[in-house]
Structure 1
Amino acid sequence: KGVVILAATNRPEILDKALLRPGRFDRRIIVEKPDLKGRVAILKVHAKNVFLHDSVNLEEVALATSGAVGSDLANIINEAAIRAVKMNRTVVIQEDLMESVEVVFAGKEKKDSILSPKEKKIVSYHEVGHALITALMKHTDPVQKITIVPRTMGSLGYVLQVPEEEKNLQSKEELIVELVTFCGGRAAEEVVFGSISTGAANDIEKATNIARQMITRFGMSDEFGFTCLETVQDQYLDQRLVLNCADSTAAKVDAAVIEILKQCYKKACEMIRENRDVLDKIAEYLYEHETITGKEFMKIFCELKNIPLPKPKNQDTSVSEIAEENKQTAEALGNLDNVTGN
């Protein structure tokens, strides 16, 4: 009596059922990655022994770290404290924390890595291509930063986007917009330089995974309907996806994925061509400054497009407003919905 036995596993599916009978290990607790509220709480715990400036907003940091676990968040606080010391400050400011998010997830800046003028120009257009699609479309997260400074984890540049609110669901329209955004970098390269580079490898991988899941897991294709064609194995380890359909169906899935990505890439190229003057101006600015903030980007974008700066999203959204926004997005995407059979 008075003894509590705890056990942990990443492979619950292989446990002997006798072990889980009532009276033995009869209470199971699934520990998932923390949500927004959980990430804020974890950040507060790790920040207890760190002097934070009064202006620090931990919720903004939590929004920028979707999918992070406790160790990631601890590293962010630690890196922020180190940065503050290096900058001869006694308190950690918001800039330290946001830079630390990038250090943890993208690596440190490779200050000894120098791109050739040609490569620097290609990367500038590639990253602005992503950001431009983001600014032109609805259902996108605001751009926080655009940089062409290489990082130690391999990226030559990237666009940092921070959501205005935590998302647990994504609509079909949002996923298609995400695919078009992934295509924006490669599309900018092809439109401007008439050739393509290896810089879009990560974009292609992510876009392919999303397009495949739209068909095999999310039921967003009329051809296959309300059907699960792919299941997750080893949910608590590598979460491998395994097709559970005939070879002939798998071939059709591959063809459908390719078609979705072709149409999204075509749409991205059209948008880049229609806004080539804006692309050129912002890419030149990025080439010169190497790193620009989201505010700088939107200011230049809105001035060139002669439109007012967007207002922060209202989190209290009605059903009719959601439907109208989805309708506007569908109209902006043109016939892309036809790709999945709608």
Structure 2
Amino acid sequence: LEKKQRVMNEDEKHRVAYHEAGHALVAYCLPNTDPVHKVSIIPRGLAALGYTMQRPEADRYLMTKSELESRIQVLLAGTLTEEMIYSDISTGAQNDLERCTSIARAMVMDYGMSRLGRVNYRDSNQSPFLASASGEETTRSHSEQTAREIDEEVKHIIDAAIDKVRHILEQRKDALLAMTERLIEVESIDADELKEIMDKTAPGPLVVPGTSDTPAKSTIIPDPKEAPAFEKRTRPS
């Protein structure tokens, strides 16, 4: 059972509801994320004011480029929802930003998933996990120019994700508002209720420009009425 360890004021409660609804909405709409199991604005511990819980449907040992891109998009969805609704952002996305930046940097430096090509830029003696934790490399086996290009690629990946998330939020704003209103009312939504909200408010197939999982320049995301709920686990901000 969840325990209400902290009490938010009404303004914070509404902002957190929008933030988590954004995570859940984008996770639901993208075709290559883990299914959303639960969305809540009940504070947990000292850091989390809400959370979007995703559970994989099976054990996974590999992730594709498009799956990592989708994970970044879901992480960015909370702060971008705040920006869309309030024309301002809060400090609540700190952990989301740390995680999406870490994923993008690993895509460039470790997995060869960027315009810099199939190259691993990480020093062989350096753990990517230690580098991610510190936010910077302890050693460098490449030039300052290459380091700048890596930073530019990380930003390019995140900027591309931002564009796609904004498109989803704009196209599914009715669903976002309905989900937020329900979260404010009951504080937690499970997968069945999320699907019900999407079925009632989503007008049809959603086209998201420029994805990497198809040769075309866009991918059609199935109508939620015709496809199962997609989900992704996101630590709340």
Q: When the two structures are superposed, what TM-score results if normalisation uses the length of structure 1?
A: 0.56
Quote the residue 2:21 is aligned against.
128
User: CA 1:232–1:127 in structure 2 vs 1: closer, same or farther (change >3 Å)?
Assistant: farther
The superposition leaves residues 248-300 of structure 1 with CA deviations (integer Å, 9 ceiling, x where unpaired) of: 11111111111211221122112111111110011000011011112111121
Quote the residue 1:326 is aligned against.
213
Matched, 1:240 2:137: no
Matched, 1:172 2:54: no
The superposition leaves residues 108-142 of structure 1 with CA deviations (integer Å, 9 ceiling, x where unpaired) of: 63x24111111000000100101100111111111
SS of 1:187's partner is helix
Structure 2 runs not aligned, ≥5 long: 132-136, 205-211, 221-237
Confirm or deny: 8 A CA contact 2:21 2:39 kept in the other structure. Answer: yes
Confirm or deny: 8 A CA contact 2:81 2:169 kept in the other structure. Answer: yes
The separation in 2 between residues aligned to 1:148 and 1:305, in whole angstroms, is: 23
Shift of 1:208: 0.2
Instruction: Looking at secondary structure, tell me which structure has more helix per residue.
Output: 1
Quote the residue 1:227 is aligned against.
119
Quote the residue 2:231 is aligned against.
none
Matched, 1:299 2:196: yes
**Equivalent runs, 1:192-341 vs 2, <5 Å:** 192-223=85-116, 225-231=117-123, 233=125, 239-241=129-131, 242=137, 243-305=140-202, 326-327=213-214, 331-332=218-219
- Amino acid paired to 1:264: A
The separation in 1 between residues aligned to 2:199 and 2:49, in whole angstroms, is: 27
SS of 2:38's partner is strand
- Amino acid paired to 2:144: D
The superposition leaves residues 175-223 of structure 1 with CA deviations (integer Å, 9 ceiling, x where unpaired) of: 1111111111011101111110011111100000000011111011232
The separation in 2 between residues aligned to 1:120 and 1:178, in whole angstroms, is: 25
User: CA 1:231–1:288 in structure 2 vs 1: closer, same or farther (change >3 Å)?
Assistant: farther
Confirm or deny: 8 A CA contact 2:73 2:165 kept in the other structure. Answer: yes
List, as ranges, runs of 4+ consecutive aligned residues in structure 1 with deviation greater than 3 Å: 231-235
SS of 1:144's partner is strand
Confirm or deny: 8 A CA contact 1:146 1:291 kept in the other structure. Answer: yes
Shift of 1:332: 3.0
- Amino acid paired to 1:331: S
The separation in 1 between residues aligned to 2:173 and 2:6, in whole angstroms, is: 29
Quote the residue 2:7 is aligned against.
114
Shift of 1:306: 5.7
- Amino acid paired to 1:240: L
Structure label with greater radius of gyration: 1
Aligned length in residues:
207
The separation in 2 between residues aligned to 1:255 and 1:222, in whole angstroms, is: 10
Higher relative contact order (CA 8 A, sep 6+): 2
Confirm or deny: 8 A CA contact 1:278 1:301 kept in the other structure. Answer: yes
- Amino acid paired to 1:247: E
Quote the residue 2:224 is aligned against.
none
Shift of 1:234: 6.5
User: CA 1:328–1:123 in structure 2 vs 1: closer, same or farther (change >3 Å)?
Assistant: farther
Shift of 1:229: 0.5
- Match of residue 154, structure 1, among 17, 42, 47: 47
The separation in 2 between residues aligned to 1:248 and 1:154, in whole angstroms, is: 38
Structure 1 runs not aligned, ≥5 long: 1-98, 100-107, 308-324, 334-342
The separation in 1 between residues aligned to 2:103 and 2:5, in whole angstroms, is: 35
The separation in 2 between residues aligned to 1:329 and 1:156, in whole angstroms, is: 39
The separation in 1 between residues aligned to 2:166 and 2:124, in whole angstroms, is: 34
The separation in 1 between residues aligned to 2:33 and 2:129, in whole angstroms, is: 26
User: CA 1:232–1:283 in structure 2 vs 1: closer, same or farther (change >3 Å)?
Assistant: farther
The separation in 1 between residues aligned to 2:92 and 2:154, in whole angstroms, is: 21
Shift of 1:244: 2.2
- Amino acid paired to 1:326: D
Q: When the two structures are superposed, what TM-score results if normalisation uses the length of structure 2?
A: 0.80
